[in-house]
Amino acid sequence: MLEVNNVGIVFGGLVALDQVNMKVKKGEIHGLIGPNGSGKTTLINVITGFYVPTSGEVKFNGNVISGKSPHLISHAGLGRTFQNINLFPEMSALENVVTARCVHTNYNMLDAVFKTKPFKEQEAEARDKAISQLEFVGLQDDLNTKAKNLPYGKRRLLEIARLLATDPQLVLLDEPVAGMNEQESDEVARIVHKMRDVGGRTILLIEHHMKFVMNLCEQLTVLNSGCVIAEGVPEEIQNNQEVIACYLGKRR
């Protein structure tokens, strides 16, 4: 589904990604791990069009997407969350999810000003879908709570509901359980499984929480200093000497 081919990116003199290759298969839960500053978020930014790679290309379902705008890439079926929470704090949970759906509405400004039939129909549909996405992540009792008043763990779940609003085939999650307790991260693991098993989505996630990654992911790619140093199933990665030396050794 996703192919990263020889991707490189240079910021000033810093080589943040160097000849990176990665494949994510349809229906897989794939983890991207590596030490701080190894290029994980940068790679997600390249895949989702926030950065244009200096070299190489990214293909999604066989089509080159690198160089396209984040909006077009989102429309093609990729949805992401950010490492730092990225919500509208003064809006309710429901409003946050409804606004995320605007990528899929096709009424124009006049429809909105005059509240025409297509506008009202699409608004109603967006609201119904948003409610079901909030139910999916367990926020059905918080529809009208302002995002800023939700506890941290629920704000992160709201971000997942927001990304589901665009109905992505491929979901990219940047540290979805950072700062969560064990019970909260178990809940996120359950939701990620459900996204794949019920929603039929493919998942690529970055995470430092090793128990979460090793239990949840079926395939892993390891970055170090902008280079892929290992790929394989969790058991192989846990026993890879280079990965242990540069990363896992410090995290056990």
Ligand X SMILES: Nc1ncnc2c1ncn2[C@@H]1O[C@H](COP(=O)(O)OP(=O)(O)OP(=O)(O)O)[C@@H](O)[C@H]1O
Which residues contribute to the site for Mg ion (CB under 5 A)?
Answer: 40-41, 83
8-state DSSP, 218: S
Minimum CB separation of residue 177 from ligand X in Å reads: 13
- Up-side HSE of residue 125: CA atoms within 13 Å toward CB? 13
Nearest CA among 163, 236, 174, 234 for reference residue 204: 174
Pick from ligand X, Mg ion, none: which does 34 bind, CB < 5 to 8 A by kind?
Answer: ligand X
Residue of 2, 16, 93, 137 interacting with ligand X (CB under 6 A): 16
Report how many residues bind ligand X under the rule CB under 6 A.
12
Nearest CA among 239, 236, 220 for reference residue 22: 220
Residue of 33, 41, 47, 58 interacting with ligand X (CB under 6 A): 41
User: Does residue 209 belong to the site contacting ligand X (CB under 6 A)?
Assistant: no
Decide if 200 contacts 231 (C-beta within 8 A): no
| Strand 55-60 to 2-11 pairing | antiparallel
Decide if 23 contacts 232 (C-beta within 8 A): no
Of 11 and 152, the one with the shorter C-beta distance to ligand X is 11
Helix or strand (DSSP H, E) at 78: strand 78-80
Pick from ligand X, Mg ion, none: which does 39 bind, CB < 5 to 8 A by kind?
Answer: ligand X
- Binding segment for ligand X among 39-47, 64-72, 106-114, 181-189 (CB under 6 A)? 39-47
What does the binding site for ligand X look like in residue numbers (CB under 6 A)? Answer: 11, 14, 16, 34, 36-42, 83
